[in-house]
Amino acid sequence: MSGRLYKPTDYPLPYIVEDIKQWPISRLSADRENFIAEVKKRTKEKIKEKYNTPAKLRDELARVLYQERIRLTQKPWKADPKDERQFWSGIKSKFIRLETLEQDAAAYSEEDILDEILHRYVSEIVGEFDPQAFHLAKAILPQFFGRILSAAPGKWLKSFAGNVKTLHEKIPISGDIEKIRHLASKGTVVVVPTHFSNMDSIMVGWLLNELGLPAFTYGAGLNLFSIGILSYFMSRLGAYKVDRRKKNSVYLEMIKCYSTVALQRGAHSIFFPGGTRSRSGELEKKLKLGLLGTAVEAQKLNFRNYNDQLAPRIYIVPCIINYHFVLEAQGLINDYLQETGKEKFLKENDEYSTSFKLVRFIYKFISASSSLSVSFGEVMDVLGNKVDEQGESYNHLGQKINVKNYFITNGVMKDDEQRDAEYTKILGERIVDNYHRYNVVLTSHLVCFTVFELLRKKYAGVDLFTLVRTPVEDISLPYQDVVDSINRLKEKLRDMYDRGEVLTSPELRWNTDKVVDHGMRNINMYHTSSPLTLSGDKMGTEDLKLLYYYHNRLEGYGLEKYI
Q: Which candidate, 319, 310, 334, places its Cα nearest to that of 268? A: 319
Buried b (16+ CB within 10 A) or exposed e, 8-32: eeebeeeebeeeeeebbbbebbeee
What size, in residues, is the chain? 563
Q: What are the tens digits of pLDDT across the range 522-534?
A: 899 878 899 999 9
What is residue 354's predicted lDDT score, i.e. its pLDDT? Answer: 56
What is residue 148's predicted lDDT score, i.e. its pLDDT? Answer: 43
What is residue 205's predicted lDDT score, i.e. its pLDDT? Answer: 87
Find the helix or strand (DSSP H, E) in which 375 lies. Answer: strand 372-376
What region does 113 belong to: left with phi over 0, alpha with psi -120 to 50, or beta?
Answer: alpha
Q: Is the pTM of this model over 0.75?
A: yes
What is residue 38's predicted lDDT score, i.e. its pLDDT? Answer: 98
Q: Which residues of the chain have pLDDT under 50?
A: 1, 148-164, 348-350, 352, 369-370
How distant, in Å, are the alpha carbons of 161, 385, 403, 525 from that of 399?
53, 10, 12, 49
Q: What are the tens digits of pLDDT across the range 345-397?
A: 555 444 545 556 666 666 655 555 446 789 999 999 999 999 999 999 999 99
Q: CA 52, 57, 58: angle at the middle one, nearest 5? A: 150
C-beta of residue 170 within 8 angstroms of C-beta of residue 11: no
The ranges assigned to domains in the chain are 440-562
DSSP string covering 390-416: T--EE-TTS-EE-GGGGGEETTEE---
Residue 236's CB: how many other CB atoms inside 10 A? 19
